Amino acid sequence: MTAAAVLDRGLDPAQRIHPAAMAQPKDNPNYKVIAENRRARFDYAIEEDVECGIVLMGSEVKSLRLNTANIAESYAEVKDGELWLINSYIAPYEQAMFGHEDRRPRKLLASKRELSRMWNETSRKGMTLVPLVLYFNHRGIAKIKIAIAKGKKTVDKRETEAKRDWNRQKQRLLKEHG
């Protein structure tokens, strides 16, 4: 059945499904991962993550569209009731007349409730805010996913690695014999 047939189906105009109300395709051309902090899941025990907006200059957005960013050494902190991303790298955009600093602190946008929760969590011993992924969402807006996490010790890292290896081995055995 074609999309037009599904939309029309002989129903009266008030009952027809509008094309914009239908589900969006899975492979949305606007969604794009820019930078990922792969070490974060290894170095930290992640309790929860929060999606935040990010305040950028025009040249920074242009640079992000070229995938020239790195959030591996960056972190977030709550300062004076605002959330800031510290030490993230966005390469200067070559064609910009007035460029930007590549490692400047960038303000993150979150609700007051999320901000207060993050501040309370980071005031606990050992808790920190770690950026996980920087991406453009389905509407083409730059977002960053921040995790509330606790640093792992070397022993914890080894345990996580051993569990991951055991799960892989289990899956392999089940696939072969199951």
Question: Can you tell me the distance from the alpha carbon of 116 to that of 109, in angstroms, rounded to the nearest whole number?
Answer: 13
Q: How far is CA 25 from the centre of its chain?
A: 20
Q: Per-residue pLDDT tens, the chain, 178 aa: give them.
A: 454 444 444 544 444 444 444 444 457 777 889 999 988 888 888 899 999 999 999 889 999 999 889 999 999 999 998 999 999 999 998 888 888 888 999 999 999 999 999 999 888 888 899 999 999 999 989 999 999 998 878 777 788 888 888 999 989 888 888 6
* 128: nearest Cα among 105, 149, 107: 149
Backbone angles phi, psi at 22, to 5 degrees: -75, 160
Distance of CA 171 to the CA centre of its chain: 28
C-alpha Rg value of the chain to the nearest Å = 22
Maximum alpha-carbon separation in the chain: 66
Task: Look at residue 88 and give its three-state secondary structure.
Answer: coil
Nearest to 136 by CA among 43, 29, 38: 29
> Does domain 28-154 correspond to CATH entry 3.40.50.720?
no
Q: Is 74 helix (H, G, I), strand (E, B) or coil?
A: coil
